[in-house]
Amino acid sequence: MIRTTKDDSTGVLIVEPGTERLTAANATQFKEEVVACIDAGENMLVIDLSQTGFVDSSGIGALVGVLKRLGSRGEVVVCGLGSDVRRMFEITRMNRVFTAHTDRAAAVSALAATL
């Protein structure tokens, strides 16, 4: 499901959900796959939602689950939020939980700056 790309210069892992809709139908799988990356040692993550047009409450829960699994061991940010996803983030106050960047380049740069 997820697609990952490692930015070798910074060590940041870019994660794409690999689905246009992150919902109850696939949120558990998404979370498990990202958590597996974290358990394998990844600790700087960008969740690229530019190809994901809709996120429901299960998708939000999965993102929160990823954030909690990472805890204080690292950072996770999001990027590429379209209008519907951005609205869902605002409604559920995820805009206060996750730092959102316009695109993956900006997200990677921001994470690299924290190293």
The contact set with other proteins (CB under 8 A) reads 21, 23-25, 54, 56-58, 60-62, 64-65, 67-68, 84, 87-88, 91-94, 96-97
Q: Are 87 and 56 in contact (CB under 8 A)?
A: no
Smallest gap from Cβ 16 to other proteins, in A, equals 18
Smallest gap from Cβ 50 to other proteins, in A, equals 18
Smallest gap from Cβ 44 to other proteins, in A, equals 20
- Comparing CB distances to other proteins, the nearer of 11 and 75 is 75
Burial label, 39 (beta-carbon count in 10 A; 0-12, 13-18, 19+): exposed
Spell 4-19 as b/e; 16+ CB within 10 A means b: eeebeeeebbbbbbbb
- Comparing CB distances to other proteins, the nearer of 34 and 67 is 67
